[in-house]
Chain A
């Protein structure tokens, strides 16, 4: 696993030092210093809000180049259901799967198949869960946020692997069996809709080892794939291993629907997710058994690596699901017990907002923050390179700014 992997990086050439990204970051992880944006990586949840906000396209997603697949003898593509919503006039998902084979993959394994298995495991888990509501762990940006800011709610997280990890595990095992190759000769490649999923697949949340060999970007694969799909002459073979339930995970509410429980809630968009988490923490959200949270607007179809508008993609997927069976995969088909799908390790909370590990010192520092803050103009204008007056004060006290740093507006006066 990579320890210091950054899923979002800055192109300093393109960065104009405006404060748009900084203002949109939900965890206040961006500063503008020396006229360029900087990411405080210990606070980055990979949600992609800064990428959406940057009109200069200076924020980049750190995905693997397509050529990475050449390093493996047997290559398997893992397409997520959000990919299915990206194409004009698509009537049959098998065109996408065939297109991936024509692109050079030896096999495909649908993430929506992993999603169907995850749904089934979730249903079994919820029936015995003592910490209701269960909070979905499929969106890694939300999980990171909980681990950083909502420590109370960690025990509510659904402790099972994400659909992509389940798909990757099963795909590799099936390929070893089929080809007789050593596991490391088999390359498993996820086609990601977002930086958050790249980050967790490289670094692991509930996994002890990376389940994939590379993470490609939907936006990067898209044009190559469309070309191959357009060249398909005859109706492609049936390769789908998921039904409308698995494919439904592409947009917000899809995972919750798969739980087959009446008392659920599904929220999307990072600010909405934060509101729901606040309510859960205040105990004001009762009488729900399952909470699905997606950082992106509309769910994974809204991830920043998608090509299509999230709501158009959602409508397209709705149409594609129309004549599908409810599910095509069950855990029984794979002969696995529940432990196969469980988190391999308990992810740890990260006290990234703590002013000091020592409570007494933290109290002292907070008093200093309050004192500095009291003097500031409270405009939250961003001129100082911090997202708010309060975070300017925190930066001074935490040493992120030199001691004695002065608010530029106060200097003007």
Chain B
């Protein structure tokens, strides 16, 4: 039994469509009959990563693989990169500009939440080149 691969382009210049990829993924997972508590974790993690790409990196690609035992998310951008990943992971750390904060983002909780709601998370980033966030959520008892 093999898995399924989905990919979505996340627009960086259209803030109003941010979140569409995670919405699509949620619907796909519902069609697959994935347990609702898992869908919720994927939804939160993917949404935060998607929004980060839009706010901090002018968009990118989201790859989702649903395998029999796990869901693998990879969000890849060619934005400014993150200089100090450890610092970026700290709760409350944010470089979001005031305009973005006015919309309710920029609490510095995105990355910590992604870590909290996934089983594995890895950030690879190079300043000036881009950032890749890889996450895994296991489908226990499936």
* A394, B22: Cα distance in complex, Å: 20
B102: interface (CB < 8 Å)? no
Query: What is the interface residue range for chain B against chain A?
Result: 20 to 34
* A152, B30: Cα distance in complex, Å: 11
Taking a contact as CB atoms under 8 Å apart, the answer to whether A363 and B31 are in contact is no
**Which among A149, A278, A349, A364 has the highest number of chain B CB atoms within 10 Å?**
A278
For A360, list chain B residues within 8 Å (CB): 1, 68
A88: interface (CB < 8 Å)? no
Taking a contact as CB atoms under 8 Å apart, the answer to whether A283 and B44 are in contact is yes
For A363, list chain B residues within 8 Å (CB): 1-4, 32, 66, 68
B53: interface (CB < 8 Å)? no
Within the complex, what minimum Cβ distance (angstroms) separates B83 from chain A?
A: 27
For A282, list chain B residues within 8 Å (CB): 19, 22, 43-44, 47
A336: interface (CB < 8 Å)? no
A11: interface (CB < 8 Å)? no
Within the complex, what minimum Cβ distance (angstroms) separates A409 from chain B?
A: 23
For A353, list chain B residues within 8 Å (CB): 27, 30-31
Q: Which of B33-41, B55-63, B120-128 contacts A (4 or more CB under 8 A)?
A: B33-41
Closest A residue to B139 using CB positions: A359
Closest B residue to A151 using CB positions: B36
Taking a contact as CB atoms under 8 Å apart, the answer to whether B23 and A354 are in contact is no
B9: interface (CB < 8 Å)? no
Contact code string B62-89 (vs A, CB < 8 Å = 1, else 0): 0000101000000000000000000000
Contact code string B44-57 (vs A, CB < 8 Å = 1, else 0): 10010000000000
Closest B residue to A283 using CB positions: B44
For B4, list chain A residues within 8 Å (CB): 363, 366-367, 370
**Which among A360, A363, A370 has the highest number of chain B CB atoms within 10 Å?**
A363
A231: interface (CB < 8 Å)? no
For B90, list chain A residues within 8 Å (CB): none
A124: interface (CB < 8 Å)? no
Interface class of chain A by DSSP: helix
Contact code string A338-380 (vs B, CB < 8 Å = 1, else 0): 0000000000010101111101101110110010000000000
B101: interface (CB < 8 Å)? no
Question: Which residue of A281, A284, A370 is within 8 Å of B40 (Cβ)?
Answer: A281
Closest B residue to A278 using CB positions: B23
Closest B residue to A356 using CB positions: B33
B94: interface (CB < 8 Å)? no
Within the complex, what minimum Cβ distance (angstroms) separates B54 from chain A?
A: 13
Closest B residue to A367 using CB positions: B4
Question: Which residue of A152, A283, A362, A394 is within 8 Å of B32 (Cβ)?
Answer: A362
Contact code string B1-35 (vs A, CB < 8 Å = 1, else 0): 11110100000000000010011001110111110
* A152, B34: Cα distance in complex, Å: 11
Taking a contact as CB atoms under 8 Å apart, the answer to whether A359 and B43 are in contact is no
Taking a contact as CB atoms under 8 Å apart, the answer to whether A284 and B47 are in contact is yes
Within the complex, what minimum Cβ distance (angstroms) separates A324 from chain B?
A: 37
Within the complex, what minimum Cβ distance (angstroms) separates A257 from chain B?
A: 24
Taking a contact as CB atoms under 8 Å apart, the answer to whether A355 and B22 are in contact is no
For A278, list chain B residues within 8 Å (CB): 19, 23, 26
* A282, B39: Cα distance in complex, Å: 10
* Residues 100-156 of A at the B interface (beta carbon under 8 Å): 149, 151-152
* A394, B44: Cα distance in complex, Å: 26
Taking a contact as CB atoms under 8 Å apart, the answer to whether B26 and A281 are in contact is yes
* Residues 377-400 of A at the B interface (beta carbon under 8 Å): 394
Taking a contact as CB atoms under 8 Å apart, the answer to whether A362 and B33 are in contact is yes
* A278, B18: Cα distance in complex, Å: 13
Contact code string A271-295 (vs B, CB < 8 Å = 1, else 0): 0000000100111100000000000
Taking a contact as CB atoms under 8 Å apart, the answer to whether B36 and A355 are in contact is no
* A360, B2: Cα distance in complex, Å: 8
Question: Which residue of A354, A357, A359, A367 is within 8 Å of B30 (Cβ)?
Answer: A354
* A309, B1: Cα distance in complex, Å: 55
Taking a contact as CB atoms under 8 Å apart, the answer to whether A149 and B68 are in contact is no
Within the complex, what minimum Cβ distance (angstroms) separates A346 from chain B?
A: 15
Chain A to chain B: the 7 pairs with minimum beta-carbon distance, closest first? A151-B36, A354-B33, A282-B47, A360-B1, A152-B36, A362-B32, A152-B40
Q: What are 21 A-B interface contacts by the 8 Å CB criterion?
A: A149-B30, A151-B36, A152-B39, A278-B26, A281-B26, A281-B39, A281-B43, A283-B40, A284-B47, A354-B31, A354-B32, A354-B33, A355-B32, A359-B32, A359-B139, A360-B68, A362-B33, A363-B3, A363-B4, A366-B32, A366-B66
A sample of 19 more A-B contacts (CB under 8 A), given A282-B19, A357-B33, A362-B32, is: A149-B30, A152-B39, A152-B40, A278-B26, A281-B26, A281-B39, A281-B43, A282-B22, A282-B43, A283-B40, A355-B33, A359-B34, A359-B142, A363-B1, A363-B4, A363-B32, A366-B28, A366-B31, A370-B6
